[in-house]
């Protein structure tokens, strides 16, 4: 029976466990380049025991970023910085993963702690946002959206392929397409954003055409031995938006075009969602398990899986294949080791590099004083909780 710390093999890649660090936008880039911050962030999580380590979503075009502080893979000059990050991830025993995306009508933003407002196209740090149709998202996304013409869609697909080729050169071994969270792929899929009447709009077959052509473009250059996966906005939680049953159809079509795993999330093509389950424990797992059963394709998901007992259970119950952790990975770079201690793994320090593990296993002092308290430390050394 698989569990949280079981290896997982997909195509020619084997992860040492079922724990993945999700892509998270960090707003620390200049000109889309990786720097020492990204080296620290990814390297420490790989050293902390994660089996699969993603960087943030990397934009396939300059105007595909969320903000001017976001990372990209649209220029060959960005390969060197990305290569430094993939090398440290591998050296620490994890698999380096990349998420390719385009923010579409949700781009051209200020950083969140600067207010997060969308900037107008004529602002020095802004640009013209694009989408399947000239439909602004609403709220803070208030500026006109340029509806992509067919030749512009084709150019974006070429940009996906160029980005995938750079990803190979940079040393990545797992590639995910970002088709969720209201970004460009998600908006093509959703009737809330896609009002087209040509071959890219209307029926589900047309609305998923953008995704299939993007997968085909990447599949031509991405090595067959490496997994090609996708994060899909599988439900808009709105009666006028994407319904989960449509996502099952869409993933079935993507599987025929070389998709190896589906990473399921929410569409976020509108703020008008009902119900809003975001505080519910593991709320995406039921959907993911259903898709896995019906399509016989590996699945991953995130959303409130940060408790070790919950993360382990959804793997043991054979519901999903990978647990994706975002904020838990930010708050605790050694989350896998902590989880192993909580779950009474026979050798928690087997998850860290061997030189670190040697010191941690051979510490000549009280076990509860090495920074990872025992699940049931002696009462005399437990601090009273307020």
Give residue 154's region: left, alpha or beta (phi > 0; psi -120 to 50): alpha
User: Quick check: is 210 catalytic?
Assistant: no
Report the C-alpha gap between 257 and 160 in whole angstroms. Answer: 15
Residue closest to 44 by CA, chosen among 372, 326, 334: 334
Name the catalytic one among 137, 160, 183, 200: 183
- Angle CA 55–59–65, to nearest 5: 110
Residue partners of 90: CB distance under 8 A and separation at least 6: 46, 96, 171
SS3 254: helix
First-to-last alpha carbon distance for the chain, in angstroms, is 40
Residue 83, both tokens: 């290569």
- Using an 8 Å Cβ cutoff, are 94 and 52 in contact? yes
* Residues with active-site annotation: 183
């Amino acid at each position: 029976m698989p569990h949280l710390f079981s290896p997982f093999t997909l195509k020619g890649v084997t992860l040492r466990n079922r724990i993945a660090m999700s892509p998270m936008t960090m707003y620390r880039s200049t000109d889309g380049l990786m720097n020492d911050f990204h080296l620290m962030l990814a390297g420490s999580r790989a050293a902390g025991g994660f089996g699969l380590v993603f960087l943030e979503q990397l934009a396939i075009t300059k105007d595909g970023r969320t903000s001017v502080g976001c990372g990209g893979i649209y220029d060959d000059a960005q390969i060197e910085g990305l290569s430094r990050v993939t090398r440290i991830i591998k050296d620490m025993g994890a698999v380096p993963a990349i998420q390719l995306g385009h923010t579409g009508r949700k781009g051209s933003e200020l950083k969140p702690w600067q207010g997060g407002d969308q900037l107008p196209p004529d602002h020095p740090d802004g640009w013209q946002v694009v989408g399947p149709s000239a439909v602004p998202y609403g709220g803070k996304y208030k500026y006109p959206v340029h509806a992509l013409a067919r030749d512009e869609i084709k150019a974006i697909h070429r940009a996906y392929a160029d980005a995938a080729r750079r990803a190979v050169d940079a040393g990545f071994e797992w590639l995910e397409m970002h088709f969720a969270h209201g970004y460009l792929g998600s908006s093509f899929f959703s009737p809330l954003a896609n009002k087209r009447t040509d071959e890219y709009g209307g029926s589900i077959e047309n609305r998923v055409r953008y995704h299939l052509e993007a997968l085909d473009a990447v599949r031509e250059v991405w090595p067959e031995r490496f997994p090609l996966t996708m994060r899909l906005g599988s439900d808009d939680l709105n009666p006028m938006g994407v319904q989960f049953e449509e996502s099952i159809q869409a993933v079935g079509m993507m599987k025929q075009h070389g998709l190896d795993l589906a990473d399921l999330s929410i569409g976020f093509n509108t703020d008008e969602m009902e119900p809003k389950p975001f505080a519910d424990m593991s709320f995406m797992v039921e959907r993911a398990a259903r898709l896995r059963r019906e399509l016989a394709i590996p699945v991953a998901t995130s959303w409130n899986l940060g408790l070790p007992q919950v993360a382990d259970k959804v793997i043991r119950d054979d519901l999903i294949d990978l647990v994706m952790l975002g904020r838990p990975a930010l708050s605790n770079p050694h989350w896998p080791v902590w989880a192993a201690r909580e779950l009474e793994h026979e050798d928690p320090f087997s998850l860290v590099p061997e030189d670190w593990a040697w010191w941690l296993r051979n510490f000549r002092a009280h076990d509860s004083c090495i920074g990872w308290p025992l699940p049931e430390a002696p009462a005399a050394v437990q601090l009273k909780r307020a």
